[in-house]
Amino acid sequence: MPGMTGFAGLENYRYLFTDPALWSAMGTTLLLVGWVLAITVVGGTLLAVLFQQEFAGRGIARVLAISPFFVMPTVSALVWKNMMMHPSNGVLSWVAESFGLPAVDWFSSLPLTSIIIIVAWQWLPFALLILLTAMQSLDEDQVEAARMDGAGPVAIFFFITLPHLKRAISVVIMIEMIFLLTIFAEIFVTTSGGPGLATTNLAYLIYIRALLDFDVGMASAGGVIAIILANIVAIFLVRMVAKNLED
């Protein structure tokens, strides 16, 4: 506002913390990060164990499984919006209609779930790549000895494979969490933060305040909050990874 002069002090922060949109965006951010982490870590671990096994065409399957990570976020969001989740012409609608089920308008009825699916599809290959690399160093003699002692596949997974992947999983969680706090392109391309604030995370809220509402002060305060939050998360995760590396 050109007519206003003087130092704003902490007024922008006061307005920000009394804005219900901030707490909605924080909750959406936590849900988005939490669900994507759960899907990618669990799915990446299971896929790493699967792709470690010998089968025909394993090399090609590995390349195809990892390739979505190299697709730009904007492109992957457009592919999911127009080819996969479109309520009339999407692949998922065709599959649902093939089984006699009604088509789902994903971005209207399940907006946050749609974003989680898109982001998880994009980051699952990253988790698979890191965990599959860690699987290469697993001592096969130890696994074979466990088999000879009568251990089944489930016991081998929980008592040998999973402890061996602990460090790699912590690295995946650290890197993914830092990047997932800044998810923007997938939301911008598909839902624009809606319906309402259903898919507005902290990064997108800052964009709305700065470039749509022209409230630069509020957006700057939100940016400082985002930086502080990211640093707190980074400190916690770096300590966790360092502890795992020392063990």
Q: What is the pLDDT of residue 57?
A: 86
Helix axes 166-180, 111-135, angle to 10 degrees: 150
Q: Tokens 């800052």 — which residue?
A: 206
Amino acid present at 247: D
- Domains of the chain: residue spans and CATH: 11-246 (1.10.3720.10)
pLDDT in tens, 9-31: 888 899 989 999 999 999 999 99
pLDDT in tens, 114-139: 999 999 999 999 999 999 999 988 88
Q: What is the pLDDT of residue 150?
A: 84
As a residue count, the chain comes to 247
The answer for residues whose C-beta is within 8 angstroms of residue 15's C-beta and 6 or more apart is 218, 221
Tell me the pTM: 0.91
Residues of the chain with pLDDT under 70: 1-2, 244-247
CA pair distance 80, 89, nearest whole angstrom: 11
